[in-house]
Amino acid sequence: DAGVIQSPRHEVTEMGQEVTLRCKPISGHDYLFWYRQTMMRGLELLIYFNNNVPIDDSGMPEDRFSAKMPNASFSTLKIQPSEPRDSAVYFCASTLAGPLSNEQFFGPGTRLTVL
Amino acid sequence: SQQGEEDPQALSIQEGENATMNCSYKTSINNLQWYRQNSGRGLVHLILIRSNEREKHSGRLRVTLDTSKKSSSLLITASRAADTASYFCATAAIHTSGAGSYQLTFGKGTKLSVIP
């Protein structure tokens, strides 16, 4: 298995533009997580899905952020409109049967820069 | 809110020495996990210790958990230059406010530098 795949690896955009980050979890994993990492705030859980259904989105910073998981092999995190404070590394992770029993597998991350 | 806090924030040692990193948290947990992150990469899982376990080993790694003190430690023995990375603890527990949801919280990490 190729592991968790994220695209793009780097994204530079201007304030106000829409940004879409993509993730393909490990085949067979039923949980998918989106995280954001910054120097100031560390690693923050934004939202997670179980069997394609969003379970907890309390970490999503505001309405400009949205996430979808249309099927078991694909998820998107969208920011519209983007702002400079959204600059961060965004990670996707997946696991089988949830973090209470298993490790999470992280993708390589998308480094987002909003100018 | 529950949160893992690593200590120290940065650690620099000579190759061959042991490295110890600590993690403290605030509320009850189901398990505690340690991850490693090399610069510019994603996190890699190292070890998971459940709340009813006190110690776990994996190769040169030793993790302890003291639920009475709400703390954990990660020991890396005979460190190597390749161990240079940031190390994070993450606590997992059932979320008190959401049915069926859980809370997974990462600390800000300990940056370990192993000097050859």
B2 pLDDT above the threshold of 70: no
- Residue B40, token pair as written in the block: 């510019």
Q: How confident is the model at residue B93 (pLDDT cuts 50, 70, 90)?
A: confident
The predicted model gives B71-92 an average pLDDT of 96
**Spatial distance between the Cα atoms of B48 and A102, rounded to a whole number of angstroms:** 8
Predicted pLDDT at A37:
95
Per the CB < 8 Å rule, is A100 touching B31? Answer: yes
The predicted model gives B16-45 an average pLDDT of 93
H or E element in which residue B48 lies = strand B43-50
* Beta-ladder partners of B22: B7, B73
CB A81 within 8 A of CB A16: yes
Task: Decide the pairing of beta strands A65-71 and A74-79.
Answer: antiparallel
Q: Write out chain B residues lying below 8 Å of A108, CB-based.
A: 41-42
Whether B72 has a pLDDT exceeding 60, the answer reads: yes
Distance CA B95, CA B75 (A): 29
Contacts of B30 in chain A (CB under 8 A): 100
Q: Alpha carbon A62 to chain centroid distance?
A: 15
Q: Do A110 and A13 meet the contact criterion of CB atoms below 8 Å apart?
A: no
Which amino acid makes up residue B106? F
Q: Which residues contact A103 (CB under 8 A, 6 or more apart)?
A: A95, B33, B45, B48
Largest CA distance in chain A: 41
The CB-side HSE value for B1 (13 A sphere, CA atoms) comes to 12
CA distance, residue B44 to nearest chain A CA (Å):
7
- Please judge whether A103 and B45 are an interchain contact, meaning their C-beta atoms are less than 8 angstroms apart: yes
A2: CB partners within 8 A, 6+ apart: none
- Closest CB from B42, B92, B107 relative to A91: B42
A15-71 residue pLDDT tens: 999 999 999 999 999 999 999 999 888 899 999 999 999 988 988 988 999 999 999
| Average pLDDT of the segment spanning A69-83 | 97
Tokens 């390749």 label which residue? Answer: B82
- Which residues on chain B are in Cβ contact (under 8 Å) with A4? 42
Write down the residue that tokens 């379970």 correspond to: A55
